[in-house]
Amino acid sequence: MLLQLLDYLGVAVFAVTGGIVASRKQLDFIAFLFFATLTGIGGGTLRDLLLGVPVFWVVNEAYLVVCLVVSVFLWFFAHGIERFNKPLRWADAVGVSAYSVMGAAKALNVGDTLLVAVLMGVSTATFGGVLRDTLAQEPSSIVKSEIYVSAAFAGAGSYVLLAQFGVVPWVAAILAGSVAMILRGGAILHGWSLPGYGHRRRP
């Protein structure tokens, strides 16, 4: 149930980031729909293809309706959202956190092994944003020095660990999602980063 909510939340906030990109590029409404939908469902689509299960939005149209509603909302209010501080990065952070947990949880449900579950969490949490940035021809967060992939990794990893120790799914999801969110939030606010390769080599 909570996982279901997390799933809608992940789709919705990634859809918001897609819509914000479309608004910054001054695109038309259909492009809003396109960017919001592809960013919203991209990560989960990759997850389901890799797991070999039916794609979630083909099974349940409600996810597409969520993207449609988000697009309409942003078409009218994107200028308002831009008054917040770094709205795109914060929505993206919520999306990464929610999806990293969801990706791992769905992989565990399908019965896959721990490493696979972690990788599924990481790749599906980051894929929507990569898709959005590639299509919009913006530099992707993947290659920045800030914590990004690591936050997804921490979220997926903690969920898998907690689930392994028998923690009930919704508690594990909240804890793991918070871990990812705190790491990514710290990166946005304070530029948190792990030591990069060069820093370690040339002290």
Name the site residues for its own copies (rule: CB under 8 A): 22-23, 25-34, 37-38, 45, 49-52, 54-55, 57-58, 61, 64-65, 68, 75, 78-79, 112-113, 115-116, 119, 122-123, 126, 130, 134-137, 139-140, 142-143, 145, 147, 149-150, 153, 193-199, 201
Helix, coil or strand: residue 86: coil
CB nearer to its own copies: pick between 7 and 48: 48
Q: Which is nearer to its own copies, 164 or 170 (CB)?
A: 164
Measured from the CB of residue 9, what is the shortest distance to its own copies in angstroms? 20
Q: In sequence order, which ranges of the chain are alpha helices (DSSP H)?
A: 2-24, 29-51, 56-59, 62-81, 87-109, 114-135, 149-164, 169-190, 197-201
Residue 4 phi, psi (nearest 5): -60, -45
Q: How far is the CB of 63 from its own copies (least distance, A)?
A: 10
Q: What are phi and psi of 146, to 5 degrees?
A: -60, 155
Q: How far is the CB of 162 from its own copies (least distance, A)?
A: 19
CB of 100 within 8 A of CB of 156? yes
